[in-house]
Amino acid sequence: MRDQVVKVLVTGSAGLIGSEAVSFFDGMGFRVDGIDNNGRADFFGPQGDTTWNRQRLEAESRDYTHHDLDIRDTDAVERVFADRRYDLVIHTAAQPSHDLAASRPIDDFTTNANGTLNLLEACRKHTPDAVFVYVSTNKVYGDNPNRLELIETETRWDYADPAYAEGIDETMSVEGCLHSLFGVSKLSADLACQEYGRYFGMKTGIFRGGCLTGPHHSGVELHGFLSYLVTTALREGPYTIFGYKGKQVRDQIHSHDVINAFWAFAQDPRPGEVYNLGGGKANAASLLECVELSADRTGKRPDLTYDETNRVGDHICYYTDMGKFRAHHPGWTLQYSLDDIVDQMVDLVGHRMT
């Protein structure tokens, strides 16, 4: 794919992962189209507005075309594929909050499941040889990770079983658990992408992401916790920790490392393959530890309060075993450490606030 003129479509192109994909592939000299209707502003209000990011892409990119449309609009999606035709599709558009899904279940399901089906079918009809990368989520595993035996330390939870020393791999069951409605809608799309790969032979790749993060994240309380934490710390504003003593653990992966993984897959796709995607054990930290890491970098702290209520479907401890992806794509390496991520976020988030 590298040696031909590549035409790329990115959905959710003004969001964190979408905008990183636009910049990445535009920088390689490819023609890039983006689909984004700023649904994040609808879902999360002014703090979630991604207009600034879309404008940045339009100003900085060499060959980027923006399409302001909703992926739930079947006819509009099909027109884009019929008119433009693509070699690579990076599908990041979503309703991304498992908390918000409970109050807006129709919007959640139609965006995540129906929208994905629209894209898959339009791709199959008009560009069936394209590589189709879908950004899924670790929430497809529901609360099954919480059934693992854990140990508690002063600042975090961790796995007691040595079998999970490197984290959760793709053998974790998606069955018999509480998913949240968000987990259900994303799992529906996840399975559809697998089936379009296995049944129709399309080059679909499914990436079950954990905490995907980076400096271009419009983080809000309900989604994008590290970005939201750093922004709140810089303002010394109020921040509420929900449940599990603040010791719940996540692994962070920089958006650039995410797109590098997608590009590695695109050059050697395995139809219908599923991969877990995250920063792994080296980039894992609890919420309490992230507060301290942010404070070390900024000299500021948010005004913390604690709510004992555990969020429904929240993982107590989750970090990603990337062994399968590394075995299939040994040339891919993680470039950004957790310290690197926070340093970059402090710098750029702070710049935007001035």
What type of residue sits at position 308? Answer: E
- Across 93-119, average pLDDT: 93
Point out the least confidently predicted range of 72-81, 243-252, 340-349.
Answer: 340-349
> Which amino acid makes up residue 66?
H
* Residue-level pLDDT at 217: 61
Residue 91 CA to chain centroid, in angstroms?
Answer: 10
Query: Which runs of E-coded beta strand occur in the chain?
Result: 7-11, 31-35, 64-67, 88-91, 131-137, 150-152, 157-159, 203-209, 211-213, 238-242, 249-254, 273-277, 284-286, 303-307, 317-318
pTM metric for this prediction: 0.92
Beta bridge partners of 307: 242
Determine the residue type at 82: A
Q: What span, in angstroms and rounded, lies between the C-alpha atoms of 55 and 72?
A: 23
Angstrom distance (rounded) from CA 282 to CA 279: 7
Q: How far apart are CA 71 and CA 129, in angstroms?
A: 21
Residues 346 and 146: their CA atoms lie apart, in Å, by 31
Domains of the chain from N-terminus onward: 7-353 (3.40.50.720)
The pLDDT of residue 5 is: 60
Closest CA to 263 of 177, 325, 348, 341: 325
Name the nearest CA neighbour of 304 among 319, 292, 313, 322. Answer: 292
Give the ranges where 199-337 is alpha helix by DSSP (H). 225-235, 255-267, 287-298, 323-328
* Strands 131-137 and 64-67, sheet pairing: unpaired
- Across the chain, mean pLDDT equals 92
Parallel/antiparallel/unpaired status of strands 157-159 and 150-152: antiparallel
Task: Write out pLDDT tens, residues 21-75.
Answer: 999 999 999 999 999 999 988 888 888 899 999 999 999 999 999 999 999 999 9
- Per-residue model confidence as pLDDT tens digits over 285-310: 999 998 999 889 888 888 888 888 88
Of 1, 39, 251, 42, nearest to 133 by C-alpha is 1
What confidence tens digit (pLDDT) does each residue in 136-174 have? Answer: 999 999 999 999 999 999 999 999 999 999 999 999 999
pLDDT at 239 (0 to 100): 87
Instruction: Name the nearest CA neighbour of 348 among 222, 231, 211, 220.
Output: 231
